[in-house]
Structure 1
Amino acid sequence: MTGIAAIIGGGVIGGGWAARFALMGWEVRVCDPDPEAARKLEAVLAAARSSFPGLWDVALPPEGQVTLCATLEEAVEGATWVQESVPERLDLKHRILRAVQVACAPGTVVASSTSGFRPAHLREGALRPGEIIVAHPFNPVYLLPLVEVVGEGPLIARACALLSSLGMDPLHLRHEIDGHLADRLLESVWREALWLIEDGLATTDQIDRAIRMGFGLRWAQMGLFETYRIAGGEAGMAHFIEQFGPCLHWPWSRLTDVPELTGDLVARIAAQSDAQSGHMDIRVLERARDTNLVAILRALKAQDWGAGALLRHHDTQRRAVEWLPEAPLVTAARAVPPDWTDANGHMTEARYLQAFCDASDRFLEILGCDADYIARGQSFFTAETHIRHLNEARAGERIRIETLCLKAEGAKLHLFHQLYRDEMLLATGEHFLLHVSLDTRRPVPPEGRLAARMAKVAGDHGRLARPDGIGRAVGRK
């Protein structure tokens, strides 16, 4: 599903909408009187182009044309969808929405990005009130899928289908309330955080750490009620409320106005929780939670950010270097993560390559080709790889990689990795690397200290027995 999207207001939110529509193949017209609008819009588009395609394993359609229009009328002419994203001033929104409906065809969806105004507020004085809805996204619009759709009428189903076609998750709220749903939850946390700072009880850093190192990770993959359902154990949500409900009346926070936990309310919450997750055994939920958390934490670890930075620091602290002249270098000792396995229950082909690549990186780091060395403009590129798959590795199993340097001569480096579980050989990887200048991308001799260490390890390993499999080609026994 594609068409023409008119974006009124090209700031952070409007620009995000423009990026999502354009990268999903829509023609986009943006109207914003800001003299810096073109520069700001291009910055958002550039950020989206570098990140949004990474969400998908299927190619996106060709990017739609984005045009900055001089007038609102030019932007909305022939538009399938109009997204108003001007500042949160009701008088301004009334003026813009009226002008939009004067210029656009009847039946056009006119959506507002408002964070808090109800559709009833927005429709005051409108030409066609029933065609104005709320479609409240979250920043960055081009990455976060949730969009709160508020309003009733014949356009709602069409609006939700269109938003779904953009890869979004339209949450239709049938009841109009100030702040919609998500922002009311966010505001509650925000208010309590402000009080903690005002009362001198916490700092901004402590509050952010509490969220990103703890419950924020759980919320990211299960939300609030499913998380608490697990906390109730096999007895479920009703048991959790019975255990922890009284705490709501204790002065743990400034937000002490809570509903009475009547039998009717507890039963309603428990029934809704059963409808949401009751078809899954508590052990299934726990396994899903744990697997998801590992995946999230490992993604953060790859970016050296948040809780992932903590994990990476611990890896660095615990990684020992044992360089023995009479043995290959141990370049990896780890467990197989759950996201490294496939439908057959064993480690995927791609992860064998990753494990060997990580081992090569570790080998180079031990020799002195670390981040500081690379920052000076030289590194290694892999020119050729051959992997043999000999036995299976499954999630949770402890594996290690032993690395043998077959040759280190000038810019050339020839490595042979052996991957073991205990003493069982699971795979081998043979890799030929070249030392290169990052400026010219051409081979160059390594710097003196690195060259000396390469020569030393090649000499030590040259005296070791050559394992089976070196020099193998595909299909050759």
Structure 2
Amino acid sequence: MTQKAAIIGGGVIGGGWAARFLLNGWDVAVFDPDPEAPRKVDEVLANARAALPALSDGPMPPEGRLSFAETLTEAVEGADYIQESVSERLDLKHRVFAQIQQVSPDAPIGSSTSGFKPSELQEGAANPATIFVAHPFNPVYLLPLAEIVPSAVSDPALIERAKEILRELGMFPLHVRKEIDAHIADRFLEAVWREALWLVKDGVATTEEIDEAIRMGFGLRWGQMGLFETYRVAGGEAGMKHFMAQFGPCLSWPWTKLMDVPEFNDELVDLIAGQSDAQSGHHTIRELERIRDQNLIGFLRVLKDRDWGAGKVLLDHDARRRAAMPDPSPDHAAPMEMARMTVLPGWIDYNGHMTESRYLFAASETCDAFLRHIGADIAYVGTGFSYYTAETHILHLGEAKLGDALTGTVQVLHVDEKRLHIFIRILKEGAPVATLEQMLLHVDMKAGRAAPAPQAIQDRLRPIAAAHAALPRPEGAGRHVGQRRA
């Protein structure tokens, strides 16, 4: 049964929430009185469609249905989850919550607020127990973090249900155990932001120089280790205690102006804005968003390959989807969709087309997803057994270019105790751009030779093979190099 999310506020953050829910199969109703809201949300959704599937190594669910409600009441009726993303005005949020709870008094209501505490949001509410902070980070459809902040009157069961909903969307709900202004992440960012403003105001650095200091140095470390783990490594073999002993005295030195705030006036605004325009004004905002998204995809894919940091969240999300993926039945036999990918800049050769090695990579991602589906995953490899590819034949049928969405499917041609014979199709818009026929052997890695697969894996494989036996044999199966096409 399709679930419904109501998004109140269709700006950058609200549009990101809408995209996150939609692309994970939820129906979404958006309410925003701004007549430009549909255009803004559609533009965010277009970016999300080009980005989020590239993080998944399995099929995305069918996209949900998007609607723009004429009234707030229409948006929240029947909603399983409600996300408020209106302007940061407490009186406005209170009015919104009051209207929502006239229609849906028991539905979970997450607020995207970056500054207000949940107890402030709950003031005067008909049912304060359902209102909590669910603070995301832009772009919401790519970054997994959502700070979940309840208050003392929040319903613990509802909070746990909300966290599980976010996990099902591929997000990482960070449960903030104590109410605090600006929560956790923005408290930290505010400190960095204040110091950056002083550096620009005092003429020490430009906006571009500060950004270069971040992205060329510690920003790269933070993306995969954070702050404390980075400093633990900096302490060497003696660890964090040594780091603290070495750099602790610096805390009393006048290195920063964190207790002071530069005067917020037109002069400061013009200074920052002028430098920012000189730094990035040659790109439109939409171009910057697309550049940001492609870079984030690359970072996140690397973390996913290493099962580290945010990559763990992506792997968990894939595992949830695989667990829900049914095996084909003889009555509904079809090649199994196992992977979705987007052609990234690093996949392109000097001709502007996807390079040959990336077709093999796409097939490997598809095959690996199928192996995980039958139980031959990384944990299984840890027991000393695995499937090894013995032969591959690739046939190039079309071209893929930057940004193209690709789908990988698997058809099982034959299975026995030791062998797995599969046919992989790499599809673009439903048509194959390449096919790969593979023979895999089940191997006892310690003995260094083929061995029968365990009964549990055979029990997953044989029904799939039986269902696929009813399919026509692929035209490219059994071809040899140089064979003429019929």
Matched, 1:203 2:212: no
Whole-angstrom CA distance in 1 between matches of 2:70 and 2:6 = 12
1:194 maps onto 2:197 in alignment: yes
Alignment pair present for 1:30 and 2:50:
no
| 2:118 paired residue number | 119
CA distance in 2, matches of 1:338, 1:128: 41
Local SS of the residue matching 2:178: coil
Q: Deviations over 1:212-268 (max 9, x none)?
A: 0000000000100000010111111111100111112111111269xxxxxxxxxxx
Question: Map of 1:393-404 to 2, 5 A cutoff?
Answer: none
Residue 174 of structure 2: SS of its match in structure 1?
strand
Match of 2:172 in 1: 169
Aligned position for 2:16 = 16
Whether the 8 Å CA contact 2:51–2:294 is kept in 1: the answer is no
Give 1:107 shift: 2.6
1:37 offset after TM fit, Å? 1.2
Change (3 A) 1:384 1:220: closer
Counterpart residue number, 1:150: 149
Give the C-alpha shift of residue 431 in structure 1.
Answer: 11
Alpha carbons 1:382, 1:433 under 8 Å: kept: no
The DSSP-based 3-state class of the residue aligned with 2:68 is strand
Aligned to 2:40: 40
| Alignment check: 8 A CA contact 1:380 1:433 kept | no
Which position in structure 2 is the counterpart of 1:81? 81
Aligned counterparts of 1:165 and 1:114: Cα–Cα separation in 2: 22
Q: State the alpha-carbon separation in 2 of the partners of residues 72 and 173 from structure 1.
A: 29
Residue 339 of structure 1: CA displacement? 11
Q: In the aligned structure 1, how far is the partner of 2:79 from the partner of 2:130? A: 14
Residue of structure 1 in register with 2:136 after alignment:
137
- Specify the alignment match of 2:245 in structure 1: 242
Q: Secondary structure at the match of 2:44?
A: helix
* One-letter code aligned to 1:94: H
Give structure 1 regions of 4+ aligned residues with deviation exceeding 3 angstroms: 300-305, 337-341, 379-387, 429-435, 472-475
Structure 2 vs 1, CA of residues 90 and 384 (structure 1 numbering), >3 Å: closer, same or farther? closer
- Aligned pairs (5 A) from 1:216-231: 216-231=219-234
CA displacement, residues 146-197 of structure 1 (integer Å, 9 cap, x when unaligned) = 0000004231111111110000000000100010110000000000000111
Residue aligning to 2:59: 59
Alpha-carbon spacing, 1:169–1:203, altered in 2? closer, same or farther (3 Å): same
Q: What's the secondary structure of 2:30's corresponding residue?
A: strand
Instruction: Select the structure of larger CA radius of gyration.
Output: 1
Percent identical: 58
Distance 1:176 1:302 in 2: 31
Report the number of matched residues: 299
The residue correspondences of 1:290-369 to structure 2 (distance < 5 A) are 361=350
* One-letter amino acid of the structure 1 residue matched with residue 148 of structure 2: V
Q: Give 3-state SS (helix, strand or coil) of 1:189's partner.
A: helix
2-side partners of 1:2 and 1:239: how far apart? 54
In the superposition, the TM-score normalised over structure 2's length comes to 0.55
Letter in 2 for 1:36: E
| Residues 208 and 80 of structure 1, relative CA distance in 2, 3 Å threshold | same
State the one-letter code of the partner of 2:114: S
| Secondary structure of the structure 2 residue equivalent to 1:149 | strand
Query: Structure 2 unaligned runs (5+)?
Result: 261-290, 307-343, 361-392, 400-479
Structure-to-structure mapping, 1:378-457, within 5 angstroms? none
1:381/1:434 contact within 8 Å kept: no
Query: Structure 2 vs 1, CA of residues 12 and 22 (structure 1 numbering), >3 Å: closer, same or farther?
Result: same
In structure 2, how many angstroms separate the alpha carbons of the residues matched to 1:115 and 1:220?
Answer: 21
Q: Is the 8 A contact 2:51 2:293 kept in 1?
A: no
Q: CA deviation at 1:301?
A: 13
Tell me, in whole angstroms, the C-alpha distance in 2 between the residues paired with 1:64 and 1:110: 20
Corresponding residue for residue 348 of structure 1: none
User: Residues of 1 paired with 2:149 and 2:292: CA distance?
Assistant: 37
Shift in CA distance, 13/340, structure 1 to aligned 2, threshold 3 Å = closer
- CA shift digits 1:420-476 (9 cap, x unpaired): xxxxxxxxx9999999xxxxxxxxxxxxxxxxxxxxxxxxxxxxxxxxxxxx9499x
Cα distance in 1 for partners of 2:68, 2:6 equals 10
2:28 & 2:149 partners in 1: Cα distance? 23
For residue 146 of structure 1, what is the amino acid of its counterpart? L
Contact 1:382 1:434 in 2 (8 A): no
Distance 1:110 1:62 in 2: 25
Deviation per CA, 1:337-394: give whole Å up to 9, x if none.
99999xxxxxxxxxxxx9xx98x74xx7xxxxxxxxxxxxxx789899999xxxxxxx
Secondary structure of 1:30's aligned partner: strand
TM-score normalised by structure 1 residue count: 0.56
SS at 2:162 equivalent: helix
Offset of residue 84 of structure 1: 0.5
Distance 1:210 1:145 in 2: 25
> Gapped runs of 5+ residues in structure 1?
258-299, 309-336, 342-353, 365-378, 388-428, 436-471
| Alpha-carbon contact 1:249-1:256 (below 8 Å) kept | no
